[in-house]
Amino acid sequence: MRYGIFSDVHSNLEALEAILDAIEAERVDQLLCAGDWVGYGADPTACLAILRQRGVLSVCGNHDAAVAGQMDLDWFNPYARAALEWTSTQLSEGDRSYLRNLPLVWTDARLTLVHSSLHEPREFHYILNLSDAQASLRLQTTPVLFVGHTHSPGIFVQEGERVSFQRIWPLRIEPQRRYLVNVGSVGQPRDGDPRAAWCLYDSEEKALEVRRVPYPMERAQSKIQQAGLPGFLADRLAIGY
């Protein structure tokens, strides 16, 4: 199977369309998303229409849970909260109930998908260091786990008791190792590279690679301004943070 895996679209339609074009060129069998379809950006309904029409298999992110009424807005910083309040005014009841029904964790024999971590997935912990990663790796039953949430791509590799971190791809999946892969963010990267991120995983070839795609960012930025969302949310797209 060839998988196109992405996360944290955050209502950025221009970035989403750019990665979907790149994924299409790679003839993938299945699209997977690690959640956070909405929040921050100005196109929540158009992005959710793509989720529903393109057969994307997705788990629920914290921003998705918030607009679906399953999470307190006090959890979020003021910028995120302002965007979530605006997003709530844009969504239909159908959109909300679709988000409400997304699972927190999805798994099959080959891979697992979760927004934040396998350790208490409903609490949306961030995996920022080796010990955070270990808490999830201990619970991981598949060779590969895909996450998002931090908006910063990278791979934790476990072999025996040892866990290491790397940002080097392409990566070859070795049978004696376990992998926790953060696929970065489509719509609001925070690793200093403003291009949209997605991950190609070929389970037959045992190859995995995070790729970056440029997109028409100015259009996404001017939509954020026109919607009356905080200007910082437009500015940060340019610096990838």
Chain positions contacting Zn ion, by CB under 5 A:
8, 36
The nearer residue to Zn ion, 76 or 201, going by C-beta atoms, is 76
Task: State how far the Cα of 38 lies from the Cα of 48, in Å rounded to an integer.
Answer: 8
Task: State how far the Cα of 132 lies from the Cα of 117, in Å rounded to an integer.
Answer: 8
Smallest separation, CB 193 to Zn ion (Å): 16
Buried b (16+ CB within 10 A) or exposed e, 60-74: bbbbbbbbbeebeee
Task: State how far the Cα of 47 lies from the Cα of 63, in Å rounded to an integer.
Answer: 14
Q: How far is CA 116 from CA 49, 124, 138, in A?
A: 23, 5, 15
Beta carbons of 50 and 16 less than 8 angstroms apart: yes
Q: What are phi and psi of 66, to 5 degrees?
A: -65, -45
The nearer residue to Zn ion, 152 or 158, going by C-beta atoms, is 152
The nearer residue to Zn ion, 4 or 148, going by C-beta atoms, is 148
Smallest separation, CB 134 to Zn ion (Å): 22
DSSP symbol at 2: E
Smallest separation, CB 8 to Zn ion (Å): 4
The nearer residue to Zn ion, 18 or 183, going by C-beta atoms, is 183
DSSP symbol at 34: -
Smallest separation, CB 12 to Zn ion (Å): 11
Smallest separation, CB 7 to Zn ion (Å): 7
The nearer residue to Zn ion, 8 or 14, going by C-beta atoms, is 8
